[in-house]
Amino acid sequence: MPEAADGRAQTTSRREQLLAIAAEQFATKGYKFTTVRDIAEAAGILSGSLYHHFDSKESMVDEVLRTFQAELFGRYEAILASDADARTKLEQAVEVSFETIDRHPHEVAIFQNEAAHLGAFERFAYLAERNRESRAVWITLLEDGVRAGALRAELDVELTYRFIRDTVWVAVAWYRPGGRRSHTEVARQYLTILLDGIAAREES
Amino acid sequence: MPEAADGRAQTTSRREQLLAIAAEQFATKGYKFTTVRDIAEAAGILSGSLYHHFDSKESMVDEVLRTFQAELFGRYEAILASDADARTKLEQAVEVSFETIDRHPHEVAIFQNEAAHLGAFERFAYLAERNRESRAVWITLLEDGVRAGALRAELDVELTYRFIRDTVWVAVAWYRPGGRRSHTEVARQYLTILLDGIAAREES
DNA sequence: GTCTATACGGCGATAGAC
DNA sequence: GTCTATCGCCGTATAGAC
């Protein structure tokens, strides 16, 4: 990652490298369990040197989460704005989510594991805001689905939203990029369960 | 809780009281974020006094988790051993899980949030063992369901197990005992989604 | 069974040399 | 941009009086 063979833009700045290293540590050991000395060591420098690049350990998670969320929500908005039918949009939202787990597993893990704690500080108030946005996206998708007749009418939309959100994001705990199942495959299987259930259909 | 009006066993020992207080703190703030001074203060004593009852902060989580797991797995075993049909057993396992969230929300939360970190230490090796046991329970239920013709034959059992486990336990993050939906109601709704899916059935 | 007092270590962060 | 050195704080845990 650090070197580009040809002369083309080697855009990964030192700052971004360090953030990527920090993100990996935060994701695997947890934010609180990761010391600035851990991050520095993984980067091959000493802890004091980190403060040339960042104000504090807190600033590091902050930047990691902000960047990640901006990208993710950009993609959700694109889906909402498209003119696909309700069921397709729902499927796309699920696919984008699993793709995000595939591409940014560390960032997703940090968000999953630390958002609750961090959200308590004013600095991280945007996390709660993003949570509300996310809920709005899924609820809209589900309600549109019901209205269009694609989803069952008696659906408890609120509960369904929670189940979807939980299952999709918690998958970061076991999904391994480059593993046996691709993110596309996982999304497809998941959608089958979600849409059609696991029970055998009785022939009528 | 501390007092029993009649002469009958007032079984909540001081030890159990302290453990309950610790569990609540661990669950809401996280194990690492909870200091022994926090626990002591919540109990109305000083931190040094805690060490009259327990070796260490670690011993406290340990005891909380061990007790909880023993009870939960006892219930799973009872279901497996019963002579109900495959679909009923699966439903019962889901119901027991939500009931456990209702009765022991703190313990479930601690297990959910801390098991990954704690599992690294030999002292908590049993957490990984319980995880394997849990997987065995669900996989058995699912495979029996497929064999009995109650569940779809093409089911990816491994993936389905993960989705069930994730959704059921993560519900501890939002389920509130005594709230608007009872655990029985949540379990029922969840089973509908899981078994029959959320898509409208096309009339054949 | 609880308190007072305190040890010991590791953490985040800073100042200034190179 | 990194290193050396170090500060101040807060965490767990201990020893012994009451």
Interchain contact, B197 vs A196, CB within 8 Å? yes
From chain B residues 106-145, the ones with a CB under 8 A of any chain A CB are 113, 116-117, 145
* A160 lies within 8 A of chain B by CB: yes
pLDDT band at A202 (very low <50, low <70, confident <90, very high): confident
**So what's the pLDDT on residue A12?**
85
- B189–A87: do the CB atoms touch at under 8 Å? no
Angle between helices A57-81 and A125-147 (to 10 degrees): 20
Return the pLDDT at B3.
39
Q: What is the helix, strand, coil percentage profile of chain A, to 5?
A: 70, 0, 30
A88 Cβ contacts chain C strand, under 7 Å: no
| Phi and psi, residue B42, nearest 5° | -60, -25
Q: Calculate the angstrom distance between C1' of C17 and CA of A55.
A: 21
State, as a whole number of angstroms, the distance between the CA of B46 and the C1' of C7.
18
Q: Look at A198 and B152 and tell me if their CB atoms are within 8 Å.
A: yes
- Which residues does B117 contact at the CB level (< 8 Å), separation at least 6? A29, A30, A33, B31, B32
The domain locations on chain B are 56-196
**CB under 8 Å to A114, separation ≥6 — which residues?**
A26, A30, A31, A61
Q: CATH homologous superfamily for B56-196?
A: Tetracycline Repressor, domain 2 (1.10.357.10)
Give the 3-state secondary structure of residue A61.
Answer: helix
Selection from A9, A43, A3 nearest residue A23 by Cα:
A43
The answer to whether B108 and B101 are in contact (CB under 8 A) is: yes
pLDDT along chain B (204 residues), means of 10: 40 91 96 96 97 97 98 98 98 98 98 91 95 98 98 96 94 95 96 96 68
**pLDDT: which is higher, A61 or B202:** A61
Does A2 have pLDDT greater than 80? no
What pLDDT was estimated at residue A201? 87
Q: What is the pLDDT of residues A72-131, one digit of tens each?
A: 999 999 999 999 999 999 999 999 999 999 999 999 999 999 998 899 899 999 999 999
pLDDT at residue number A3: 39
Across A106-120, b (16+ Cβ under 10 Å) vs e yields bbbbbbbbbeebbbe
- DSSP lists the bridge partners of residue B178 as none
Alpha carbon A78 to chain centroid, angstroms: 16
- Quick: pLDDT tens for B172-193: 999 999 999 999 999 999 999 9
Given this model, what pLDDT does residue B9 score?
Answer: 46
Token pair in block for residue A177: 């990029």
Count of CA atoms in the C-beta half-sphere (13 A) of B54? 21
B156/A197 CB distance under 8 A:
no
Evaluate if residue A6 carries a pLDDT over 90. no
C-alpha to C-alpha distance for B15 and A44, rounded to whole angstroms: 47
Q: Smallest CA–CA separation between A126 and chain B, in Å? A: 19
Yes or no: is domain A57-196 CATH 1.10.357.10? yes
Report CB contact under 8 Å: B159, A196: no
Q: DSSP assignment, residue A181?
A: S
Across chain A, mean pLDDT equals 93
Q: How far, in Å, is the CA of A35 from the C1' of nucleotide C10?
A: 10
Say which of B117, B151, B198 has its CB closest to residue A152.
B198
Enumerate the β-bridge partners of residue A151. Answer: B199
Here the tokens at position A54 are 């960042």
Q: Name chain A contacts of B181, Cβ cutoff 8 Å.
A: 159
